[in-house]
Structures are given as C-alpha cells and as structure tokens.
Chains A and B, each alone.
Chain A
Amino acid sequence: MCTTHSQLDADYDNYREQLISAGLLVPSGVAGVYGLSGTFEGIIESFESLVTRHGNKLNPEVVRFPPIFNRQTYLATDHIETMPDLLGSVHSFEGSTLEHLDMVHKLKDGEDWTSGLSPTEVMMVPAACYPLYPTAKDTVLPEQGRLVDLRTFVFRHEPSPDPARMQIFRQREFVKLGTPQQALEHRNFWLEKGQEILKSVGLNVIAEVANDPFFGRGGKVMAASQQEQELKFELVIAVASEEKLTAISSSNCHLDHFGSEFNITTQDGNHAHTACIGFGLERIALALLKTHGLDPDNWPQEVREELKL
C-alpha cells in the first residue's frame, strides 16, 4: 500500500499526542527525546525481566556499559564511514579564562559559541555491542565462544515526529563471539526466540530481511550487499502506522568485521565471527501500548501474566 508522507506524519502526530496526553511520554522540546512515565518504565522493566528469564537459560556473561565510550574505540569501527549522520560526539570546554569569557560573550551575542569546545575522549554509543569488542581485543575465544548479555542507551541523531524513532533509547542485546557456525547458529536461534518472546506478549511480529541506514549513495551499495547476504533481519509490527511497520528487534550477522578489527580469534587461529540480537526496549513498550491499549491495567490477562505485571 502506498502511504503518503502527510498521512504518515498524521499517524505519527496522532500516536505521539495520545502518548503525551496519557502521560506516558513527557516531551522535552526536541523531536525524539522524551521523559518516560513510571508506567512506561514499568513495561520496559517487565519485558526485560521476561527476556532475562529466557536468556539466563543460556548462562550468558552479563555486562552493562554506559552510553558513552572511548573515542578511539569508536574510530576503530567504521561507523563514521558508514553512518556519519547518526553519530554523537561529546564535546566540552577545555580553554583558558579568556577563552571562556569569549565563549560566553559569543553565546550572549547570539554567535556560534560551540567553536570554543573541544572533542572529549568519548563518543555516544551507537549500538549496544560496540563497547564490548575492544574488551576482547587480541584474545583467543574459548572453544564454545562467548555469549554476552548487554543493555545500554544508544544514541542516533535522527530527530523525527515518529514517537518510535527516539534519538536515545535502550537496546537489550545478546552477542555471540565465536566461529562462523556459532555466530550463525546464535543469529538463527535468536531470530526464532525473539519471535517466540514477542508473540508470547501478543506482538504478532513479522520477520523481514533488512539493512542498516547506511549514509548517502554509497550506502545504497552497502545496503544492497547486506540485503543480498541476508545479514540483517528485523521483527516488525504496526506501532504508530499500520502501513509503515516498525522494527522492534533485529538480528545481525557481522561476519568477521569486528573479529578482524579487534583481532579476536577462535581456537583455529581465524578471526572470530560475531552476531547479535537486539531488542529495542522503548519501541517494544510502544508496540505493547499500541496493540493492547494505553492502560496496562486493561491489557489481556495472559499478557499481564507473561509480563508479571
């Protein structure tokens, strides 16, 4: 079905305003940046607990990174080459008293004061698994590989009226580092498990081959390549729009991209392959609120029981 932009924007505005009116989202004056109510946060906590119950059966290592990470690590990935329009660089002031005064005067005079800032040693995390790989740099993985449970806020500079496209949101991930076969098995296992978990709470997702939003014309080649190799799958469902579905989870094969970048090897001496499943926690809460209504007290009993609400 062909959806016009104005219709899509109307759908976004409509659902966003419903969420704000219900007190679930608290607007901040910036598109895609919201405060979340206790009810909203409670949904996320309940869903995460459900994911933890499933994930713990696999006995993963658990690590929680903050939403900023080493600038050098960031630069060792190719994110700046593939998605420069989404990156977030943290800057601060490191100048003298005179330069400070100059900056404040520029600010008060409505001039560009940000030229007085310098890049700090950190960048915003663009995906939950990025901070993990450097911690495994120059290591040889155990025979069974490593399975790591991660969750962090990630930043993507893409201001949007779509309430499901937040600039900063949480990803819960399970990452496998291992042989090509172990990574592929992980991806395939979680593609099924992800659907099982989401369907158990009434979210009838569809699995689709997908691609990352690579930048520019060159990005189209990368996107086509990613699609042809079926490296990325998304689980999609109607959130703000019935016609343009929203991805609430994705499963990705990175091949040996990070393994070679960070010299992570398997027992046979080859570069490790990596794969991950990510659950977009805010989007899952938004999908639940869309599917079952804005008041979790009135959600179907079986959904409430599964989420232990």
Chain B
Amino acid sequence: MSKELIREILAKHGRLSASIETLNDNSDLYEAGLTSLATVGLMLALEEGFDLEFPDSLLSRKTFSSIEAIEDAIDEIQN
C-alpha cells in the first residue's frame, strides 16, 4: 500500500527522466534522474501524503535513493 503511494508521489514530484513503471523497488532514483532539488519537492510531498515529518537525521541522500529506502524511512518514522 505504502509503496503504491510512494510511486504515485514519485511520479508526480520526482521529475524523473525514467518512467516510473520501468523502476523496481530497488532502482537507484538518482540514476533515474532524481535531482537534489527534486528531492526537496519529493520530501515535502511525501510528508503531506503520509502526514509525517522527516527528522533531520533522515534528511540525507540515502533516504531518497530508492522506493524501498523511502519506505524504510517512512516505516522508521511511523514506528
């Protein structure tokens, strides 16, 4: 469920050069065209979509590096 929402948000806010359908959960989003500026938009959209706030400790490049990494970070915040 959360992966689907992540994909939806990523497709809308990630400004990726690759199509979201071609990415698996472990694909490197930076290689798929995610820029550091787009990461900011993605972060804000994820916060709104999941109703949470990323703590400073998770504001790193790694957190947004793949769909799975984003899900892990969201799990960590929610639990």
Contact = CB atoms under 8 A, between A and B. Distances in A.
B36 interface: yes
3 closest A-B pairs by CB: A218-B40, A225-B61, A220-B59
A229 B61 contact: yes
B40 A224 contact: no
A222 B34 CA distance: 12
Range, interface on chain B: 10 to 19
A228 interface: yes
A274 B43 CA distance: 27
Range, interface on chain A: 10 to 19
Contacts, number: 38
A66 B64 CA distance: 39
Contact of B40 (A221, A226, A228, A229): A221
- Give the residue among B39, B56, B59, B62 with the most A Cβ atoms within 10 A: B59
A78 B35 CA distance: 12
B60 interface: yes
Interface of A: 78, 81-82, 217-222, 224-226, 228-229
Nearest to B39: A221
B60 A222 contact: no
A217 B40 CA distance: 8
Given A222-B36, A222-B37, A228 B60 contact: yes
B44 interface: yes
B60 A219 contact: no
Given A218-B43, A218-B44, A221-B64, A82 B59 contact: no
